[in-house]
Amino acid sequence: MLGEFEYLILGAAMRLREGAYGAAIREEIEAATRHSCSIGALYTTLDRLEAKGLIKTWMGDPTPRRGGRPKRMVRVTANGVRAAREFYVAVRRVSRGVSWEATRVAVG
């Protein structure tokens, strides 16, 4: 089973498709969660996902915008897609019948 941060990375990489690399995934996660995402957490989780065979990474071409430095490109593998789908289905299943908005109001 995936962790939620692993799921966020897989989701961001799937959305970005060909343009999935370190900085872009980080921006995508920060925009989605409205929380800052550290490079340390991102890169160590990318390693973990790659070790599990859920993504594949490689060094891309250098670009002038990055001071001539290459990107760490990311592609989600078929196993990655399957794991992300299972996680999503589990979250949906466990959320069935739960209304967070109503709960918040009730607690408040």
Partner 1 sequence: MGGNPSRGRMMTRICCWLVDVLSRMLDADERQAVRGDLAESGKSVVRAIWDVLDLIVRRQVGLWAGWQPWLALLGIACLAGLLLSRIAFRLNVDLGQQLMAYYTYGVHFGTLLTPQQDMAWLLCLAVALLVWSWTCGFVLGSLSARAVWLTWSVFYLMVLDSALVRFILSGNMILRDPQPLRLLITATLPLNPATFLFSVSAVWGTLVGVRRRVLPLRAVYVLASAITIFTILTTWMSGWYETAHEEWSGRAWHGVAWPMRLLPLVLVSWPIAYLLAMANRQHTSVNETR
Interface residues toward partner 1, by CB under 8 A: 21-23, 26-27, 38-41, 43-44, 59, 62-63, 65-67, 69-72
The least CB distance from residue 66 to partner 1, in Å, is: 4
User: What is the nearest approach in angstroms of partner 1 to the Cβ of residue 86?
Assistant: 26
Residue 24 CB, shortest distance to partner 1, in Å, is 9
Of residues 21 and 87, the one with the C-beta less far from partner 1: 21
User: Tokens in use for 102?
Assistant: 């109503």
| Closest CB to partner 1 among residues 38, 108 | 38
Shortest distance, CB of residue 42 to partner 1, whole angstroms? 9
The two structure tokens encoding residue 88: 């999503």
Q: DSSP alpha helices (H): ranges in the chain? A: 4-16, 22-33, 39-51, 78-95, 100-107
Q: What are residue 52's phi and psi, to 5 degrees?
A: -80, -5
**Gap between the Cα atoms of 34 and 57, Å rounded:** 26
> Which is nearer to partner 1, 14 or 41 (by Cβ)?
41
Radius of gyration over every alpha carbon of the chain, rounded to an integer in angstroms: 16
For residues 16 and 88, which CB has a smaller minimum distance to partner 1 in the complex?
16
